[in-house]
Amino acid sequence: MSGHSKWSSIKHKKAATDAKRGKMFTRFIRELTIAARSGGGDPNSNSRLRHAIDGARAANMPSDNIKKAIQRGTGELDGVNYEELTYEGYGPGGVAIIADAMTDNKNRTVSEVRHVFSKYNGNLGESGCVSWMFTRKGVILVPQSASGEDELMEIVVENGAEDMVKQGTAYEITTATEDFDRVHEALKAKHISVESAEIAKVPSTTVRLEGKQAEQMLKLYDKLEELDDIQNVWANFDIADEEIEKLSRE
């Protein structure tokens, strides 16, 4: 988990450029559309849609954009028909990587994903080659400034959290998928700010990287996330905090 959470927590703190904000909005629009298509347009009965709405609002997406994306999913408005796909492969040092995509053109997406893997010393593999190393978990990051450690631990454990650890300047809370909503809602009820909250693919083991391999891995991870059709990237790398800080500034 450490590779995913360390790199993600740094990226959450980076000032978002207009281009990255546009990418974020595109990602949420696709997720809102597919969530509404698969589970209906009522967030009260569709937890996936509810999470997508929460994320879009946290990213300051206009309410009209959220509404229209949901309406495209429910068929009230015409829109692009997206398909969900998952790509798996290996990065530098044998790091396991999963890239989740939403696309209207599979050929374009696989070509772009394969190119990024090849450019940064990785290999795109077959379906199922690394997914067995990951488990779906709820992962919530809470800034350490938002709550005392003991108070936060008591709240999340009482509501079903599996673990809480310090990760950089945040607390990383892990839950079973079925307890994710309960823990997240408990934090909201206590007015504790949340840096990010998602259902993540958490690795069972990690691969420690240093030097050139660490640099290549972070570039591979970042370039995959920049692809228009990629929604999320999960990996089992573990890189020292100070090295990630240094590479993220370069």
Same domain as 103, residue 212: yes
Predicted confidence at residue 82, as pLDDT, reads 87
CA-to-CA separations, 148 to 78, 128, 177, 191, 194, in angstroms, rounded: 48, 41, 25, 13, 14
Residue that is last in its domain, among 203, 221, 237: 203
Same domain as 199, residue 165: yes
Predicted confidence at residue 180, as pLDDT, reads 94
Same domain as 220, residue 115: yes
User: Does residue 2 sit within a domain?
Assistant: no
Pairing of strands 237-238, 207-208: parallel
User: Does residue 3 sit within a domain?
Assistant: no
Predicted confidence at residue 16, as pLDDT, reads 42
User: Does residue 5 sit within a domain?
Assistant: no
- Residue-number span of the structural domain to which 117 is assigned: 83-132+205-249
Same domain as 215, residue 109: yes
SS3 assignment, position 115: helix
Predicted confidence at residue 78, as pLDDT, reads 85
User: Does residue 167 sit within a domain?
Assistant: yes
User: Does residue 4 sit within a domain?
Assistant: no
pTM of the model: 0.80
Same domain as 109, residue 232: yes
- pLDDT one digit per residue (tens) for the chain, 250 residues: 344 445 454 444 443 444 566 678 888 899 999 999 989 999 999 989 998 998 888 888 899 999 999 999 998 988 778 889 999 999 999 999 999 999 999 999 999 999 999 999 999 999 999 999 999 999 999 999 999 999 999 999 999 999 999 887 889 999 999 999 999 999 999 999 988 888 889 999 999 998 899 889 988 998 998 898 999 899 999 887 777 777 666 6
**Structural contact between residues 39 and 46, judged by C-beta atoms closer than 8 angstroms:** yes
Same domain as 183, residue 126: no
- What's the total number of domains in the chain? 3
Same domain as 183, residue 163: yes
Predicted confidence at residue 2, as pLDDT, reads 41
Same domain as 61, residue 46: yes
Same domain as 152, residue 116: no
User: Does residue 148 sit within a domain?
Assistant: yes
Residue that is last in its domain, among 188, 203, 218: 203
- CATH code for the domain in which residue 193 is found: 3.30.70.980
| Residue 227 DSSP code | S
User: Does residue 93 sit within a domain?
Assistant: yes
- b/e string for 131-150 if b means 16 or more Cβ within 10 A? eebbeebbbbbbbeebbeee
Same domain as 139, residue 29: no
Same domain as 118, residue 219: yes
Predicted confidence at residue 249, as pLDDT, reads 64
Pairing of strands 207-208, 230-235: unpaired
Residue that is last in its domain, among 38, 53, 74: 74
- CATH code for the domain in which residue 20 is found: 1.10.10.200
Same domain as 88, residue 28: no
Predicted confidence at residue 9, as pLDDT, reads 46
